[in-house]
A and B are shown apart, each in its own frame.
Chain A
Amino acid sequence: MPTLHLVALGLYGLAAALALAPFAGLPSLSRRWSVALPGAGALAHGMALAQLTPAGLAPILSLLALFLIVLQLCCELLLRATAVALFTAPLAAGLVGLALLLGLAPGVEAAAGSTVWSVLHVTLSVLAIALLALAFVSAALYLLQFRELKTKRFGQVFQLFPPLERLDRLNYGALAVAFPALTVGLLFGVGVRFAAGVDVAPAQLVWGSFTWVVLGWAVWARVVRGWAGRRAAFMSIAGFAAVVLVYLALKLVEPGRERFL
C-alpha cells in the first residue's frame, strides 16, 4: 500500500517538476509526458486506494489528491489546459506526502466507513471539494493571464496559460458540477446517519453545511446573476479560501489524525 502511494508521489512530483520547468527557463517536454506521468501516477494511486477504506484523515487526503490528478488529466485531454498542472500536481503530491506521513491506516472511522452509504458520501463529497479546488485553480490562472494581457508582458504566462474564456468556462463547469456532487454527497451523509446509525460530529455538520452554502452561493452568482470573468474568479478564490480556513479552524478545535473532522 505505501509502496504504491510512494510510486504515485514520485510520479506526481515529476509531473509537478515538468509543469514548472518552463518557468525556470528549462525547455518544456512534449504533451505526451504531461499525460503519461500523472496518468501512471493516478493508476498506481487508484490501485493503492482500492485496498483502503475511505475513512480517516490520511485516506481522504489521498482520495482528494487522486481526484485532483484525474481532473488535471481531464483538463489536459479535453481543454489542453496544461497549466492547470502548475497547481494541481504539486498540491496532489503534497497531499499524498501528507497522507503517508500521517499513516494510511483508516483509524476509528473504519468500521462505519465501510458501508455503501459512507463510501458514496465520502467519494462524492471529496469529488466536490476537488472540483472546488479546480475552480480555485482556474480562477488563479485566469487572474494571472488577465494581468499578463492587461499589462502586455507576453511572457511565459502569456505563452503557456490557456485563453481567458477557456479558463472562465473551466471555472463555471467545475462549480456547476461541484454543487450537485456535494448536495448528493451530503444526502448520502444523512443516509450514513440514519441507515448505518453513525453519529455525525458537530464539526462535520458545520463544515459540510458551510461548504454547501459557499458552493451554492458561487453557483447562484454565476448561473443566476451571470457573474463571469474577474469577478467570478475572485469569488471562486474567496470561496475556496473560506472553505479551507474553516476546515483548518475546526481541525484546530478538535485535532487528531484518526478522523477527517
Chain B
Amino acid sequence: MSIAVLGVNHRTAPLEVRERFAHAAHEVPPALERVLRAGAGGGVLLSTCNRTEFYLAQPGGTVAEAVWELLSERLGGGGAAQEYGYVQRDRDAVRHLYRVSAGLDSMILGESQIQGQVREAWQVSRVQAGPVLHRLFQSALLVGARVRGETGLGVGTASAPSAAVALAEKIFGALAGRSALILGAGDVAELAAGCLAAEGVQVALVASRTYERARVIAERLGGHAMTLEEAWDHFATADIVLCSTAAPHAVVTWERVAPAIRRRGGRPLCLLDLAVPRDVEPAVAQLENVFLYDIDDLQAVAAQATAQRRGEIPAAERIVSEEVDRFWGWYDGLGVVPVIRAFRDRLDDLRRAELERALRRLGHLSPEDRAQVDQFSQALLNKFLHEPTVVLKRAARVGHGYGLLEALKKLFGLETGAGR
C-alpha cells in the first residue's frame, strides 16, 4: 500500500457526526503531525462540512489506527470513528481524490466550492504533504478544472439557495446593488440572505416578530432591523423579499402588501418564500410584476440542473480515468529507476566476479585479449538487460509496473531501499 485515503463523508456519516470530525485550518498541522508520527511519508487533511479525509503517502502499519483513534477522540462518548469510515488505496485513492475535486462525490453534484477546499487543504498541509501528495493534489486541481471545462457538470444551479439567486438574476440580471428585505430571522433566512449578500445584494432591512433577533442579523448583514408590522410599506422599494418566518400561516397577504406594490411603478419584485408552511399568500403572485417562488419552485430549478448534470457523469468519469492512468504512470515510474539500477548492479557484480575468476584461469592472455574478454562480458550483459529494462519502463508508463517490480525484487533478492 503506497497511497491511501481514510475518512468519512456525507454518504457514510450523518451531519451530527461529520461536524465533530471537521478540523479548522489551525487544527490540521497538529492532527497530521500525530498521524505521520505513526509512520507515513506524507499527509494532507481535507476537512469540509461534508467530508474529513486523510490522504497519506507510504502509510505504515499503524497509521490507520492512528487516524481512527484521532477521529474517535473527537467523536467522544466511546464511539468508534471507523464505523463511519472508509479506506481507499493506491489507484482507488487517486481516483477518489480526483472525483472529489471534480465534484462527482459532492452532495450537490458538480458543485465548484470543493475545488477551492481541495486547494486550501493542500496549502494548509503543504509542509507535511511530501512530493507524491504534492503532485497528487496539484493534478487533482487540474482534473477538477478539466472536468468543469470540458463537460457540463458545473452548469446550472443545483442547490436551493443558488436557485434563489438564479431566479432573482433572471429577473434583474446582475444582483449587485439591488436591495433585499428579509422577513424572519431564523437560520434559513440568515443563510439565504448570506447567499444574496455574496452576490452583492444590499440587505437593507430585516424584519422579525422578535426585534432583538432581527437586530443581531441586520447588524451582521449591514442592514436595519424592524418589526414585521413596519415591513409592509417597504414592499414598495425592495427588489427582493426573502420570507422565512416560523409563522403557522401566511403573513404576507394581498391586503397587507398590494398598496405598496402598486406604488412600484411597474418595477419587478422577486418574492422568495422559503418558509414551510408558506409565508406568502398565493394570491400575491397575481399582482402585476410580482414573481413569487416557494421552496418547491426553488427545488424544481435545482433538480432540473441536477438532472442536466447527471447526463455529464460518464464524460466526467472518462476524464477522471484518463487522469488516474496518467498519474499512476508517473507514480509507477518513480519506483522503476532504483529497481532497474539495483538489478543492473546485482548482475554487474556477478559478471565482475565471474570475469575475475575466468581471467585468473586464463593467465596467458595478453592485456589486449583480457580487455576484449571484459568488453565481451559487458556487451553480453547489456544485451541480456536491454529487453527487461525496456519492458519495465514501458509497463511503468502505462501504470502496470508495480507487479513486475515486485516480482523482480523477489526473484533477484533486490533491496533498493527506495520507497516511492
Contact = CB atoms under 8 A, between A and B. Distances in A.
Contacts of A145: 170
Contacts of B176: none
Contacts of B268: 164-165, 229
Interface string A135-150: 0000000000100011
9 contacts: A149-B291, A150-B285, A152-B293, A154-B300, A166-B173, A228-B266, A228-B267, A229-B267, A230-B289
B382 interface: no
Contacts of B304: 154
A163 B170 contact: yes
Given A149-B171, A231-B266, 11 more contacts: A145-B170, A149-B170, A150-B291, A152-B293, A154-B301, A154-B304, A158-B170, A163-B169, A163-B170, A227-B266, A230-B289
B213 to A, nearest CB: 31
Contacts of A165: 171-173, 268
A243 B180 CA distance: 41
B297 interface: yes
Nearest to A80: B173
A226 interface: yes
Interface string A59-83: 0000000000000000000000000
B171 A163 contact: yes
B265 interface: yes
A225 to B, nearest CB: 10
Nearest to A226: B265
Contacts of B90: none
Contacts of B291: 149-150
B288 interface: yes
Contacts of B297: 152
Interface of A: 145, 149-150, 152, 154, 158, 162-166, 226-231
A231 B167 CA distance: 22
Interface residues of B, number: 19
Nearest to B308: A159
A31 to B, nearest CB: 13
A166 B172 CA distance: 7
Interface string B271-306: 000000000000001001101010001001100100
Given A164-B268, A229-B266, A152 B170 contact: no
A164 B266 contact: no
Chief secondary structure at chain A's binding surface: helix
Contacts of B289: 229-230
A164 B171 contact: yes
Contacts of B267: 228-229
A150 B270 CA distance: 11
A230 B293 contact: no
Contacts of B265: 226, 228
B100 to A, nearest CB: 28
B300 A152 contact: yes
Contacts of B301: 154
Contacts of A228: 265-267
The 9 closest A-B pairs by CB, nearest first: A163-B173, A229-B266, A166-B173, A165-B173, A228-B266, A165-B172, A163-B170, A164-B171, A152-B297
Contact of A163 (B172, B285, B293, B300): B172
A158 B301 CA distance: 10
Contacts of A166: 173
Nearest to A232: B266
Nearest to A79: B173
B152 to A, nearest CB: 9
A166 B170 CA distance: 9
Contact of A164 (B170, B285, B288, B300): B170
A228 B265 CA distance: 8
Contacts of A226: 265-266
Contacts of B173: 162-163, 165-166
B79 to A, nearest CB: 43
Contacts of B171: 149, 163-165
Interface string B367-403: 0000000000000000000000000000000000000
A158 B304 CA distance: 12
